[in-house]
Structure 1
Amino acid sequence: MAALRIVFAGTPEFAVPALEACWTRGGEVVAVYTQPDRPAGRGRQPTASPVKQLALRHGLPVRQPASLKSAEEQDALRALAPDVMVVVAYGLILPKAVLAIPRFGCLNVHASLLPRWRGAAPIQRAIQAGDAETGVALMQMEAGLDTGPVLLEKRTPIAPDETAGSLHDRLSRLGAEVLGDGLTLLRAGMRPAPRPQPEAGVTYAHKLEKAEARLDWTQPAVQLARAVRAFHPWPVAEVQLGGERLRIHAAVALDEAGDAEPGTLVRAGRDGLDVATGAGVLRITRLQREGGRPMAAADYLNARPDLLRA
């Protein structure tokens, strides 16, 4: 089997295992495209993306254009003579002309079971919606937003205590597996049969906004607990409670009836802070004060003994 000439386009940590799969199972990575370096950390110094860092460690050529719309950039990509372009959380829209450059087109690894959760935040939206299952799809890219036919997919359950962080890591590894399977078939001349996405079941995973982190106590406890897990590790759920703003790192919904006003602290103990909601009670088990570090509810109460009388 001849090695494929692969151009890889990706930026965050999610894409790192997929890049590794390109040279372990696909062939020769002739170039890596990633977002321009961005300010990060306390010093706000320009920082290379995780994909760029891995590429440089392996001596792979890196390109960081601000856009792929110019004829110059498209000519540079064409000169690489790629058999396939693999795109994983790249962060730039590929023009239609770019999609046509590789011999086998452009393949995308997407973190959902398409057509559910097309768009920017499929991992978080699946948890927020209470989905029992998700997965990764290897898709043949076309001009629409995540609308291309699915070539392969892998499924995984969403655990009741799953956070966006833990699911992200698992789907990242699954994405590398499904990509590796697709590249192996491509090298063997057995291109996976494309499965057009059905119109039924299309949902969109809109980009996360920091404002969403502010929880509304009038919502049901089940919905609030999902939001806490979906927004961890970013942007992290926030509430006003006990006269201060707290970030919530872990919470569970209790199926308890009551007549307390939503947002009322009804109990406080070593097991957590129990807060009335629009339906049921939310038990906060891990939290963070402004300027502080995440801590267990029991440790927080050591500093706030006044809440024990709640």
Structure 2
Amino acid sequence: MTLNEQAKKLRIVFMGTPEFAVASLDALVRAGGTIVGVITAPDKPAGRGMELQQSAVKKYALEHQLPLLQPEKLRDPDFLDALRNLKADLQICVAFRMLPEVVWNMPPMGTINLHGSLLPQYRGAAPINWAVINGEKETGVTTFKLQHEIDTGHILLQDHFPVNEDDTAGSVHDKMKDIGANLLVATVEGLANGSLTEIPQPGAAALRHAPKIFTETCLIDFSQPVEKVYDLVRGLSPYPGAFTFLNQKKLKIFKASVRKAATDQQPGTFQTDAKTYLSFVCTNGFLDLKELQLEGKKRMAVEDFLRGYQF
């Protein structure tokens, strides 16, 4: 998609950090958007050598020679002066941190955010994970205007797509980043030509939230139905990974399948032939493991794991 001439003239500041945001920034650049500045996280030490690592958005900005700012604090006076000097008409925020009002309210057209759910459902930090964990059959993306309360601003555009039974958070993420990038370009064009109407978010009787994922979220409860356990595994794959323990060592499960069957065995116990299968007992069946990672080892197929593991 190519932006119309009106939209191409808009001075845009883009804010984002991970790979998910790169797809949106790239779509804007390819569509002919005028990116006058990119805001991303400071470089952070990572890896065994604790060397400084650049964010995915920073790498893209440097490759395409886009002006770059990496503020430690978003209320820093020097940063705010630099941001004002960019004279943005519009700011776009994708997978970035929470913005103070002095930042999101700065440009005349405000700041729009791309969120990985069909708002008002799944407001919060981990909408992709929680949609899969909860077994949703459909999810989507929303562009909206930032306001005071997180993820509550007026909706601009939405797009939806199905979640398949074998989808993981990773595969939904990959679909969503491209669908969201296209929606964002359409949003910029609609704002430029005045064709978009801001729609207040509807009230919902049963809102599902998407809070940050913590370690306790990832611990598998095998007393749940096997379908629920399977959805948890999918919703936390590939990161951070649902886990249980095998002989006091953490065992992450990345891929599995459901085998419903009547069983009187204790949930959480396992069955194996030590060669081809490893299954954990749930209340109404078995979770058959396909890909896993034992603490201190690499991720591998269950057959490769069993070939080298002594029970």
Using structure 1 for the length normalisation, give the TM-score.
0.92
Report SS of the residue matched to 2:188.
helix
Rate the CA distance shift 1:271–1:131 in 2: closer, same or farther, 3 A. Answer: farther
Match of 2:200 in 1: 196
Match of 2:107 in 1: 102
Q: CA deviation at 1:299?
A: 2.2
1:277 paired with 2:282, answer yes
Match of 1:43 in 2: 49
Distance 1:152 1:269 in 2: 52
Query: Is the 8 Å Cα contact of residues 237 and 248 (structure 1) preserved in structure 2?
Result: yes
Paired residue type of 2:89: D
Distance 1:248 1:183 in 2: 40
Paired residue type of 1:195: I
Q: CA deviation at 1:97?
A: 2.4
Distance 2:76 2:296 in 1: 45
Match of 1:34 in 2: 40
Match of 1:251 in 2: 256
Match of 2:13 in 1: 7
Paired residue type of 2:125: A
1:90 paired with 2:96, answer yes
Greater mean alpha carbon deviation, residues 97-106 or residues 54-63: 97-106
Match of 1:169 in 2: 174
Report SS of the residue matched to 1:143.
coil
Q: CA deviation at 1:268?
A: 3.8
What stretches of structure 1 of length at least 5 have no aligned partner? none
- Residues 2-151 of structure 1: matches in 2 within 5 Å? 2=6, 3-25=9-31, 27-91=33-97, 93-151=98-156
Residues 198-248 of structure 1, C-alpha deviations (whole Å, 9 max, x = no match): 121433201111332221222221111111111111111221236643221
* Partner residue of 2:212 out of 195, 207, 218: 207
Query: Is the 8 Å Cα contact of residues 276 and 306 (structure 2) preserved in structure 1?
Result: no
Residues 250-290 of structure 1, C-alpha deviations (whole Å, 9 max, x = no match): 11222111100011223547663222113321111121223
Query: Is the 8 Å Cα contact of residues 6 and 22 (structure 1) preserved in structure 2?
Result: no
Match of 1:291 in 2: 296
* Partner residue of 2:306 out of 272, 281, 301: 301
Q: How many percent identity over aligned positions?
A: 39
Q: CA deviation at 1:152?
A: 0.6
Residues 142-174 of structure 1, C-alpha deviations (whole Å, 9 max, x = no match): 111000011111101111011111111111111
Match of 2:191 in 1: 186
Paired residue type of 1:218: S
Report SS of the residue matched to 1:215.
coil
Distance 1:298 1:271 in 2: 5
Q: CA deviation at 1:114?
A: 0.3
Query: Is the 8 Å Cα contact of residues 30 and 61 (structure 1) preserved in structure 2?
Result: yes
Query: Is the 8 Å Cα contact of residues 221 and 279 (structure 1) preserved in structure 2?
Result: yes
What stretches of structure 2 of length at least 5 have no aligned partner? none
What value does the CA root-mean-square deviation take over the aligned residues?
1.8
Rate the CA distance shift 1:46–1:243 in 2: closer, same or farther, 3 A. Answer: closer
1:237 paired with 2:237, answer no
